């Protein structure tokens, strides 16, 4: 009986702890995004400042991996100053989910036109070696990928997730093989191009002819306020769920759960 109780308690502690950890990370990410949205104006005492404006590209970004050859989108105008990408594989566990296999971010020589100031973005500060999934990195707030395309074509699966093939648009036929599926890997990416609005936060330092954002640089595009609210909501749900699992586990181990 004691062994069973310890097993229940251990499982609840593990599951609840993982849920609480995920909720804490979502909360920290929401806090970072909120600061990025709220900050602005003059630099703080530490030299930190948020800038916002259109991107100017002096040298385009060169991503380590581009979309597959069968993806032929209508390319928008403007050179890419930042190119964030990842490759995902579908996993068939208790619930289907996509796992990131590889990813990264390429940054060219870029600046942001913040009112009358032209502020450079330090590429090395933004391009961290630890970035495996730029769409979930703590300092990058890019929203949903603009490009979402299967890496290879297979029978039963459309080549382009975002394509339009009449009545069979976005149809998938997938078979499980253990934890793997027959769904091909997919490539996702977002390119921030010349003239697009970018918001960046970091330490302002004199960088030769013009100031530059360096240090722990955070950048975001799109409706950041809405995304912050969504992250806070997700953090609350996971935090509450983790707490409930822990309480139920302790109660079950103590023999106080009434079925």
Per residue in 130-159, pLDDT (tens digit) is 668 899 888 899 989 999 999 875 544 444
Task: Report pLDDT digits (tens) over 211-237.
Answer: 888 877 888 998 887 777 888 888 888
Neighbouring CB atoms inside 10 A of 136's CB total 14
Alpha-carbon distance 108 to 55, whole Å? 11
Copy the structure tokens of residue 15: 């599951």
Q: What pLDDT is stored for residue 192 in this prediction? A: 93
Reported confidence tier of residue 117, pLDDT bands at 50, 70, 90:
confident
From 134, 15, 154, 164, select the one nearest 64 (Cα to Cα): 134
From 79, 36, 33, 64, select the one nearest 192 (Cα to Cα): 79
Task: Report pLDDT digits (tens) over 49-63.
Answer: 788 899 999 999 999
Alpha-carbon distance 109 to 137, whole Å? 21
pTM of the model: 0.73
Instruction: Evaluate if residue 160 carries a pLDDT over 70.
Output: no
From 201, 89, 71, select the one nearest 146 (Cα to Cα): 71
Copy the structure tokens of residue 33: 């995004």
Alpha-carbon distance 212 to 119, whole Å? 5
């Amino acid at each position: 009986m004691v062994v069973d109780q310890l097993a229940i308690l251990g499982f609840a502690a593990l599951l609840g702890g993982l849920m609480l950890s995920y909720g804490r990370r979502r909360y920290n990410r929401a806090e970072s995004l909120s600061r990025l949205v709220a900050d602005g104006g003059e630099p703080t005492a530490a030299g930190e400042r948020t800038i916002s404006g259109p991107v100017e590209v002096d040298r385009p970004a060169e991503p380590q991996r581009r979309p597959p050859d069968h993806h032929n989108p209508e390319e928008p105008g403007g050179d890419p100053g930042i190119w964030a990408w990842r490759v995902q594989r579908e996993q068939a566990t208790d619930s289907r989910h996509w796992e990131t296999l590889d990813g990264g971010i390429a940054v060219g020589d870029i600046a942001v036109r913040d009112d009358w100031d032209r502020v450079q973005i330090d590429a090395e500060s933004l391009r961290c070696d630890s970035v495996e999934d730029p769409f979930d990195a703590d300092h990058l707030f890019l929203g949903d990928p603009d490009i979402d395309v299967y890496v290879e074509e297979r029978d039963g699966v459309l080549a382009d997730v975002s394509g339009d093939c009449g009545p069979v648009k976005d149809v998938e036929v997938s078979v499980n093989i253990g934890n793997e599926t027959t769904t091909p890997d997919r490539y996702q990416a977002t390119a921030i191009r010349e003239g697009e609005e970018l918001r960046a936060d970091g330490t302002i330092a004199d960088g030769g002819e013009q100031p530059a954002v360096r240090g722990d640089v955070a950048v975001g595009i799109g409706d950041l306020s809405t995304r912050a609210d969504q992250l806070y909501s997700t953090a609350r749900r996971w935090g509450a769920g983790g707490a409930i699992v822990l309480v139920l586990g302790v109660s079950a181990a103590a023999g106080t759960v009434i079925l």
